[in-house]
């Protein structure tokens, strides 16, 4: 059983399109995250939700909109895709508490052409 699963794993799309990446965790965690990893492997937090409420919202273009319908899901919607959005997007989850491990999904490889 996959603990944190995200779909699709690969996505190639044209500039200007709108796309969504879905994420689900079956670990019973109360906190979920979206991270972006660029081509140099640099990992940057984008959003964090705790019990469906947004708690971290880094400087991210407002074309990116997270949605958490329940504690087990955190989807990422991206409007008007740009070339610079090409990256790997990782969903993750944890139980609230600084010492708790964050568990990552396998990543969604987004390529904007």
Partner 1 sequence: GNSVTQMEGPVTLSEEAFLTINCTYTATGYPSLFWYVQYPGEGLQLLLKATKADDKGSNKGFEATYRKETTSFHLEKGSVQVSDSAVYFCALSVDNDMRFGAGTRLTVKP
Instruction: Write out the residues near partner 1 by the rule CB under 8 A.
Output: 4, 31, 33, 35, 40-43, 45, 48, 50, 55-56, 90, 92, 94, 96-107
Give residues with Cβ within 8 angstroms of 4, minimum separation 6. 23, 24, 25, 27, 91, 92, 93, 103, 104, 105
Scanning the structure block, which residue is given the tokens 């709108």?
Answer: 18
Of the pair 80, 96, the CB lying nearest partner 1 is at 96
Of the pair 41, 70, the CB lying nearest partner 1 is at 41
Cα angle value 98/99/101 (rounded, 5°): 105
Of the pair 33, 64, the CB lying nearest partner 1 is at 33
The distance of closest approach from Cβ of residue 97 to partner 1 in the complex, given in angstroms and rounded to an integer, is 8
């Amino acid at each position: 059983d996959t603990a944190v699963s995200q779909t699709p794993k690969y996505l190639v799309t044209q500039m200007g399109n709108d796309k969504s990446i879905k994420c689900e965790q079956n670990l019973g965690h109360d906190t979920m995250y979206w991270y972006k990893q660029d081509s140099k492997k640099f990992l940057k937090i984008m959003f964090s939700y705790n019990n469906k409420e947004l708690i971290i919202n880094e400087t991210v273009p407002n074309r990116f909109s997270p949605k958490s319908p329940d504690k087990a899901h955190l989807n990422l919607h991206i409007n008007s895709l740009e070339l610079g959005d090409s990256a790997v997007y990782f969903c993750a989850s944890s139980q609230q508490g600084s010492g708790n491990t964050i568990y990552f999904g396998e990543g969604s490889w987004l390529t904007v052409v």
